[in-house]
Structure 1
Amino acid sequence: MAEILRYFNWTYVSTVASEGDYGETGIDAFQQEARVRHICIATSAKVSRSMSRWSYDAVIRSLQQKSNAKVVILFTRSEDARELLVAAARMNATFIWVASDGWGAQESVVRGSEPVANGAFTIELASYPIKEFTQYFTKLDPYNNTRNPWFREFWEHRFQCSLQEVSCGQYSLSDGSFEQESKIMFVINAVYAMAHALHNMRLAACPNSTKICDAMKPGTGKRLYKDYVLKTRFDAPFRPADTENVVSFDANGDSLGRYNIFHYHGDDGKYVYTKVGHWAQDLVLNTSHILWDQQAPPTSQCSDPCRKNEVKSMQPGDVCCWICIPCQAHQYLLDEFHCTDCMLGQWPLENLTGCYELPEEYIQWGDAWAVGPVTIACLGIICTLFVIGVFAKHIDTPLVKASGRELSYILLLGVLMCYSVTFVYVAKPSATVCALRRLGLGTSFAICYSALLTKTNRIARIFGGVRDGAQRPRFISPASQVAICSALISCQLVALLLWLLVEVPDVRKEVKPDRRDIVILKCNSKDSSMLLSLTYDCLLIVLCTVYAFKTRKCPENFNEAKFIGFTMYTTCIIWLAFQPIFYVTASDYRVQTTTMCISVSLSGSVVLGCLFAPKTHIILFQPQKNVTTLRAPTARFSVTTGPPSSHSQTSGSNFVPTVCNGREVLDSTTSSL
C-alpha cells in the first residue's frame, strides 16, 4: 500500500482502521512503511461494528477537513468498508480509496455505493482456487460431516429449511452457484506447514519411532515453532501446473507476501474490478489499465509542488508540508531545499541544475561604438603622417627651422600616439592591452604637452630677454630643448611604471548591479586611478596655458605664440568637459570608451590643426612667405624686410632673434627649435 502511494506521489493521506487486531496492527505497520517513504498522515480514525451511521458520518467529516489529503487508506473489515462508502455517499464526499484485503475484490462491499468507490485501489492476496476442495466441499451433507458442529446450522441457513424435514437433507451444495473463498489456499498451506513441521520434528526427536515420543509432548511448542515451523519450506500442494508457489517463512514468522492489485472503475456503464498489477517484494503496475477521470492521476499532497525555480522551506520535523520560496535570477538549485549563487561571470542553466560561463561582452571592431572613433583615429593618423612627410621634405626651409624641428617631431609623435590610443581602447581587454592603455594614454599626453611646455617656456625666455636687453638665454639650443622635454616626459613614465608595479594590469569581469546575464570584460584599473594618472598631464596643460597667456603680447608678426595660446585654450575646454562626461557615462562601458577615444583624438586634432595646419599651408601653398628676415639691432621688436645679411648678427649684450614669416630663427647657421 505504501509503495502504491509512493508510485503516484501521494505523500499526504488519511487512514481509517477497524478496531481490533486486524485493523490496528495493519495500520501501524502501514504507518511505519509510510514514514520510511516520507509519506505523512493527515488524520487517523478508527471504526467498529458497534458504531451508528452518524459515527461513520463523523469519520467522513473528519476526513473532509483535510482537503489536501484526497487519498484515504482503509485497513478495515469488509463491513466497516461498506459502511464508510455509504456514509461518503450520504455526505457527497469523494476520495481515492486504497484498501487492504479486507475489501479485496468483493462486490458486496461496493454494492449500492459504486460511484463513491470509483477509482479505488484494492489489494487481495494472490491465490488460486483449489478444485479438489470444491469437489470435497460440495459433496458434504449433514450426514457425512458430523465433525463440524456448525455445519447443520449452515445447511439450514443455506437452503432455508429444517433438517427435521426429510426433503431438507436431499439438497446438495453443488446445486446453484458456489464461489470458493479466496483464502482457502492459505488455510490449506498453513495446515500443510504445521504437518511438515511436526513431521520434521518427529524425524529429529523420535528417529526410531513412528509415533509421538516424549520429546514431542506438550511444552515443546516454542521449540516446534522456532526450530521447525520457521524453517519449513515446501512447494504448495494443489497448485496449478503453471504456478510456482513455495511456502516458507522469514525470521519474524511472516510468509512471503504476494498480492494482486485491483482498480475499481466504471466500464461501459458498469463498475468492475480490473487487475492492474501485483506485488511480490516489488511493485508492478500496468498504468495503461488505470482510467482517471481527469486523464491524469489526482494529487494528494500537503503542499503543491514547487516550480522549477523554487525551493522548499520546511518546518522542523515535517517532511510533507512546505512553503515554496523562489530563487534569485542568478541562483541555481543545489537541491530541492537550497538555492546557491552562481559564481561571478556565470548564469544558471535552463533547468537550474548548475551554471554555465556567460559570454564576455566587450566592444567589437564592427560595433557602431567602435567604427566612429576608429574612423576619426585613422583620419588623424593619415593627416599626422602627411604633416610629418611635409616637414621631412622641407626640413631645411626657414619655416620648419623656425618651428623647432626636434620639438615639432616630438609633438607630432605625441599626436600620433593620441590617435593610436583609440585602437588600444577598442581592442579586447587583456593583460597586455590593459598595460598599453595605462602607458599609452598618459604618455601620449605627456609627450604633447611636455613639447609644448618646452616650446612656450623657450619663447617666453627669449622674448623676455629681448625686452630686458639681456644676454642670450641659456638652454635654448636644440639639444637642451630635447633634454628638457625628455625629462618632463620621464616624470610621467616613472609614475606610470610605478602604477604598473603597484597594481598589476589584468582583466576583470563586471556584472551589472541588477544581475542581468551580461558579463563585461574590463581592465582591472579603476576609473579614479586612471584619472589620477592624468594629474601630471593636467599640470603640464596648466603650465602650457600660463606660458601661452604670458607670451600673448609678443610682436604681432610673431604668430607662433598666438597659435599655441589658441591650442591650449581649446585643450582646456576639452579637458574640462571630458572629466564630468567620463564619470557620467561610467554606467555604460561602450559610451564611456567611445567618449574617451573621441576626447583623446580631439586633443590630438587640436594640436595638429592649430599648430601644424597653418605651417603646412604656408609650406605647400604660400612658399613666398617661407623666407628669412632679420631684426635691426637698433630697433626694438622691429623686423627688417630686406635680404638677410651676415652682418646682421647679435652683438654685445643685446640678443635680437632672426625671424621667418613672424617666427624666430635663433641662429640661421644652426638647426634650432
Structure 2
Amino acid sequence: VFINYSLNHMLYYRTIAVVHHYPQFLHIYMRLSLRNDRELKFARTVIFTVEEINRDSKLLPGMTLEAVNGEEQSCKSRIQALLGHSSSGVSEDINTILGPLSIPQVRTLLHLVVSHLSTCACLSDKKLYPTFFRTVPSDRFQIIALLKLMEYFDWRWVGIIHSPSMYATQATTEFIKEAKKEGICVEYMKSFSRSSTTSDSITTAEIIRSSSSKVVLLFMSLSYTKAFLKIMEGRNITGKQWLGSESWITQTDLASATRKSILQGAMGFAIPEASIPGLAEFLLNLKPSDEPESAMIRAFWEDVFHCSFTPSNTSAMCNGTEDLRTISNDYTDMTEFRAVNNVYKAVYAVAHALHALLQCRNASNPTTGKQCVNMKDIQPKQNGDTVAQYDLVNWQMREDGSVEIVSIGEYDSSSSEGKNFKLNDITKIIWGGNHIPRSVCREPCPPGTRKAINKRKPICCFDCFECPEGTISNQTNAPECLICPPEFWPNDRKDQCLPKPTEYLSYKEIMGALLTIFCCLGVFLSLLTSIIFLVHKETPIVKANNSELSFLLLFSLKLCFLCSLTFIGRPSDWSCMLRHTAFGITFVLCISCVLGKTIVVLMAFRATLPGSNVMKWFGPPQQRLSVLAFTLVQVVICILWLTINPPFPNRNMNYYKEKIILECALGSAIGFWAVLGYIGLLALMCFILAFLARKLPDSFNEAKFITFSMLIFCAVWITFIPAYVSSPGKFTVAVEIFAILASSFGLLICIFVPKCYIMIFKPEQNSKKHMMGKIPSRTL
C-alpha cells in the first residue's frame, strides 16, 4: 500500500507507484511540499491502520500489509494500491498520469488509487478514471443534500461564493444545474481568490451585504475559506445564513470572536463522526525516535515546539521527549475523527478487497466465482461511489469566539426517497439572523392568485396575478385559475368556490315583511268595509249601489290582497302555478264586479227616464251571469296555461354572476300575457263606460269613483309592464306585488271609502230623501 499526500502540503508519508521508473515525480513532490499538520495526522492514521490489520489473524492471513513511503527507493514488490490525495484537483492529475490508458507500463505496477477527501463528482467517470476509488462521498451527494435542506426551509433564492479550484468550480456548476431542477435560483455567483485585490474584496462584501437572498453557500476548500473569512472580517456582513461545504464546516479553528457575526448559525453537511479506539493515543504518542530517518518529522517537531535538533543561537535544543498533548493544532485535535475515519476506511477497503480476491476454495474464488488468482493477477474492480452519509451540523458560537459543532440532522443516500433527509429538533438550531430566514426572490403566490413566469427574470422571480372574476386558485403558486361550477361563486379571497346564495323575496327581509303588512292591511280594510256595508245594508246608499255586487267586489278584493302573499316566500311548483292563476282569476272577478256596477249605474240612469224598461234586461240574474261569464273566460285561459306549459320554479344564474335568483319562470309567456291582456281589456272597458257615465247626476256619482279607480288601475299596470321587465331578481316579484296592492287599494279607496265616510260620519246624508233631492224634477 502506497501513501500519497498533498502537493501543496508537507508529505510526511508519501509514495509514488512508479518510483524507480519515474523518480522525477518524487523529486518534484518533495520540492513543492509544505507543512500541513492535518496531512501528518492522515499519514500516521495509515500507519496505525496497517499495524492494526496486520495484528488481525482473520484478515489477509499469512500476509503482511506494508505502508511504503517515497523514501523507500529499494521497494521492488508490485504496488497494489495508492492512498491519497486530499485534493480533487491533484487526484485528477495523479489519475491522469498514472491511469492505465495513459501509461501502459503503470498497469503492471498499480491497481487502484483510493482517496479519502477527493470529493469532485468528475472523478466518478470510470471511463476517464477506471482505477480511482474513494471513501468520501462524491460532491454530487453533498449537493443533493444541500438542496434537500434548502427545500425543507423553502430557501429558493441563494448566493454562492466559491474558490477557483476544481473542487469548488465543479461543485458550483453541478449545484446550479441541480438547483434549476428543484426551482431554486442563484442570485449571484462570485469567485473568490486568495490573490483578490482589496477592491475585489470590497465588491464581494457589498454583493453579499446588499443582496436580497438571505442564504449564502460558501463552497471552498479549507485554505480558501480561511483566507475569505479573514478578508470579510469587519465588512459588516450580518443577518445571512451561511451554508458551508464539508471541507470546512467542521473546522473549529476558523472560529473567532470577530467572525461571530458571519459564522454564527452556519450550517453544512459533514462526514459522519466516528470513534477509532486507540488512534488518539497512537497519534499523540509520536516521537521523533519512531521515525529516526524522517527529516520531515524532525522539521515538524522543531516547528511545533520551537526548538532545534542541531545547535542554534535562536532556539533551544529539542530532546525528542516533548509531549504533543501540550500543543494545540490540527494534528493534536482529537475532538473529532470525521476525515480521519475516511483514511481509516480506505486502508481497510484495500485490505478487504485483497482478502476477497485472494480467497481460493476448490480452485475457484468464492467472491467472484472465477478461477483463483494470485497477487500478480489482480486487476482493478469497477465499483461505484461510496454510500453517502452526512451529519447536518450547526455552528453555535460563544462570546469568546469558540464554537460548538452541533449535529442537527442527517442525510443518508441509501434510504428511500423522502426519508433520506432527517432533521432533529428544530428549536435547538441557532440561526444566522436569530430566526429562520426567508430567502425567496418573490413570496409564493397565495391562493386566489396565479403564478406567471417573468421571462426577463429568473424562474424564482415570478409574478402573481389575481384570479379573474368567477375563478379561483386553492393552492399556493397555482399555475392557472379554475372556473367555478355554474352554481358556485368564489369567496372574497378567491380561494374557494362557495355555493351561490339563493335570492328570493322572503318574509324575513324588510321588503317582504312590509309587503306582507300591506297585504294584511288590505285584507283588514276590505273586511272592515264589508262589516260596515253589512251593518248598513238597509240604508239607501248601500241599496242604491247594488249591495250584491258590492259584497262580491269586496270579497274579490280580499282575494286580490291575499293572492299577493303567494308571491312572497321560496318558490315551489304549487306556489308558482297558484300565484299567477290566482292573481289572474281574482282580478278578473274584481274587474267584472266593477264592470257590472258600471253597467248598473248606466242602466239605473236609463231606468229613471219615463217609459224606460231597461233594468229588466240587466237585473241581478244578468249581473251574476255577466260576472260569471267574464271570470270563466279567465279560468279557461289559466287552465290552458297550466295544461300546456305551466309556471315552474327556476334557478336563474344568468342575471347575476355571484348569486342565483330563485324565481317562478312563466312557462308559457303567451299564457302570462294573455292573462294580463284579458285583465287589461276588462279594465279598459270598465274605464270607458265609467268615463261615459261621469256626468250623471250626483245621486249616481259612483261612476266618477269608478273612473278614478280604473284610472289608477290602468296607470299602475301600464307602469308595471316596463318595471316588471327591467327589475332584477326579487325586485321583479316586489314590483308585481306592488302593482296588485296599488290597484287593489285604488279600487277599495275610490269605490268604498266615500260611501263608508257618509255612513259613519254623515249619516244624515244616508237617506232616500237626500239622495232623491238632488235629482231635478222633470215634466215628461
Q: How far apart are residue 303 of structure 1 and its match?
A: 1.0
1:137 to 261, 264, 283: 283
- Equivalent residue number for residue 666 of structure 1: none
2:740 to 596, 600, 604: 600
Code of the aligned partner of 1:17:
H
Alpha carbons of structure 1 residues 567 and 53: separation in structure 2 relative to 1, 3 Å: closer
The 2-side partners of 1:27 and 1:381 are apart by 89
Equivalence map 1:168-317=2 (5 Å): 168=318, 170-172=320-322, 174-177=324-327, 178-180=332-334, 182-204=338-360, 215-217=373-375, 220-222=378-380, 224-226=381-383, 252-265=384-397, 267-268=398-399, 270-281=401-412, 282-292=421-431, 295-307=434-446, 309-315=448-454
- Equivalent residue number for residue 114 of structure 1: 260
Alpha carbons of structure 1 residues 349 and 147: separation in structure 2 relative to 1, 3 Å: farther
Alpha carbons of structure 1 residues 36 and 562: separation in structure 2 relative to 1, 3 Å: closer
User: Is 1:18 aligned to 2:151, yes or no?
Assistant: no
Alpha carbons of structure 1 residues 600 and 108: separation in structure 2 relative to 1, 3 Å: same
Alpha carbons of structure 1 residues 93 and 615: separation in structure 2 relative to 1, 3 Å: closer
Alpha carbons of structure 1 residues 296 and 429: separation in structure 2 relative to 1, 3 Å: farther
Alpha carbons of structure 1 residues 456 and 40: separation in structure 2 relative to 1, 3 Å: same
8 Å Cα contact 2:255-2:403 kept in structure 1? no
The 1-side partners of 2:189 and 2:377 are apart by 41
Code of the aligned partner of 2:278:
E
Q: How far apart are residue 73 of structure 1 and its match?
A: 1.0
Alpha carbons of structure 1 residues 176 and 321: separation in structure 2 relative to 1, 3 Å: same
8 Å Cα contact 2:585-2:631 kept in structure 1? yes
Q: TM-score, normalised by structure 2?
A: 0.65
- CA deviations on 1:7-50 (whole Å, 9 max, x unpaired) are 22211112233344432343345445534532222233344555
Alpha carbons of structure 1 residues 148 and 481: separation in structure 2 relative to 1, 3 Å: farther
- CA deviations on 1:634-668 (whole Å, 9 max, x unpaired) are xx99789xxxxxxxxxxxxxxx9xxxxxxxxxxxx
Alpha carbons of structure 1 residues 351 and 489: separation in structure 2 relative to 1, 3 Å: same
User: Matched residue of 1:280: which SS?
Assistant: strand
The 1-side partners of 2:189 and 2:758 are apart by 107
- Equivalent residue number for residue 448 of structure 1: 590
1:79 to 223, 236, 260: 223
> What do you get for the CA RMSD once the two structures are aligned?
4.6
- Equivalent residue number for residue 433 of structure 1: 575
Q: How far apart are residue 582 of structure 1 and its match?
A: 6.5
- Equivalent residue number for residue 152 of structure 2: 7
The 1-side partners of 2:765 and 2:430 are apart by 104
The 2-side partners of 1:30 and 1:453 are apart by 96
Alpha carbons of structure 1 residues 46 and 325: separation in structure 2 relative to 1, 3 Å: same
Code of the aligned partner of 2:232:
A
Alpha carbons of structure 1 residues 144 and 56: separation in structure 2 relative to 1, 3 Å: same
- Equivalent residue number for residue 323 of structure 1: 463
- Equivalent residue number for residue 505 of structure 1: 648
The 1-side partners of 2:527 and 2:759 are apart by 16
Code of the aligned partner of 1:192:
Y
8 Å Cα contact 1:121-1:264 kept in structure 2? no
Alpha carbons of structure 1 residues 312 and 366: separation in structure 2 relative to 1, 3 Å: closer
User: Matched residue of 2:213: which SS?
Assistant: coil
Q: How far apart are residue 564 of structure 1 and its match?
A: 2.5
Alpha carbons of structure 1 residues 370 and 204: separation in structure 2 relative to 1, 3 Å: same
1:42 to 184, 187, 195: 187
The 2-side partners of 1:107 and 1:624 are apart by 119
The 2-side partners of 1:294 and 1:46 are apart by 24
2:691 to 522, 546, 549: 549
Code of the aligned partner of 1:437:
R
The 2-side partners of 1:603 and 1:218 are apart by 120
Q: How far apart are residue 506 of structure 1 and its match?
A: 0.9
Alpha carbons of structure 1 residues 208 and 171: separation in structure 2 relative to 1, 3 Å: farther
The 2-side partners of 1:600 and 1:524 are apart by 19
Q: How far apart are residue 333 of structure 1 and its match?
A: 2.5
8 Å Cα contact 1:344-1:509 kept in structure 2? no
User: Matched residue of 2:190: which SS?
Assistant: strand
Paired residues, what number?
Answer: 601
Q: How far apart are residue 257 of structure 1 and its match?
A: 0.8
- Equivalent residue number for residue 644 of structure 1: none
- Equivalent residue number for residue 27 of structure 1: 172
- CA deviations on 1:128-178 (whole Å, 9 max, x unpaired) are 353512222333334433686743443343334444459535234535132
Alpha carbons of structure 1 residues 280 and 470: separation in structure 2 relative to 1, 3 Å: same
Code of the aligned partner of 1:506:
P
The 2-side partners of 1:225 and 1:171 are apart by 47
- Equivalent residue number for residue 333 of structure 1: 473
- Equivalent residue number for residue 489 of structure 1: 631
- CA deviations on 1:387-437 (whole Å, 9 max, x unpaired) are 556777898998767645664454333211221133223333334333333
8 Å Cα contact 2:540-2:766 kept in structure 1? no
Code of the aligned partner of 2:438:
T
- Equivalent residue number for residue 58 of structure 2: none
The 1-side partners of 2:168 and 2:639 are apart by 88
User: Matched residue of 1:437: which SS?
Assistant: helix
User: Matched residue of 1:547: which SS?
Assistant: helix
Equivalence map 1:515-664=2 (5 Å): 521-524=662-665, 534-575=676-717, 586=727, 589=730, 596-613=736-753, 625=767
Which consecutive unaligned segments of at least 5 residues does structure 2 have?
A: 1-145, 366-370, 413-420
Identical aligned residues as a percent: 24
Q: How far apart are residue 182 of structure 1 and its match?
A: 3.7
User: Matched residue of 2:558: which SS?
Assistant: helix
The 1-side partners of 2:587 and 2:307 are apart by 126
Q: How far apart are residue 587 of structure 1 and its match?
A: 6.2
- Equivalent residue number for residue 105 of structure 1: 250
The 2-side partners of 1:297 and 1:494 are apart by 81
- Equivalent residue number for residue 88 of structure 1: 232
The 2-side partners of 1:167 and 1:405 are apart by 147
User: Is 1:151 aligned to 2:297, yes or no?
Assistant: yes
The 2-side partners of 1:522 and 1:146 are apart by 108
Code of the aligned partner of 2:379:
G
The 1-side partners of 2:527 and 2:168 are apart by 102
The farther-off stretch of 473-482 and 190-199 is 473-482
8 Å Cα contact 1:103-1:123 kept in structure 2? no
Alpha carbons of structure 1 residues 502 and 565: separation in structure 2 relative to 1, 3 Å: same
Alpha carbons of structure 1 residues 294 and 126: separation in structure 2 relative to 1, 3 Å: closer
- Equivalent residue number for residue 231 of structure 1: none
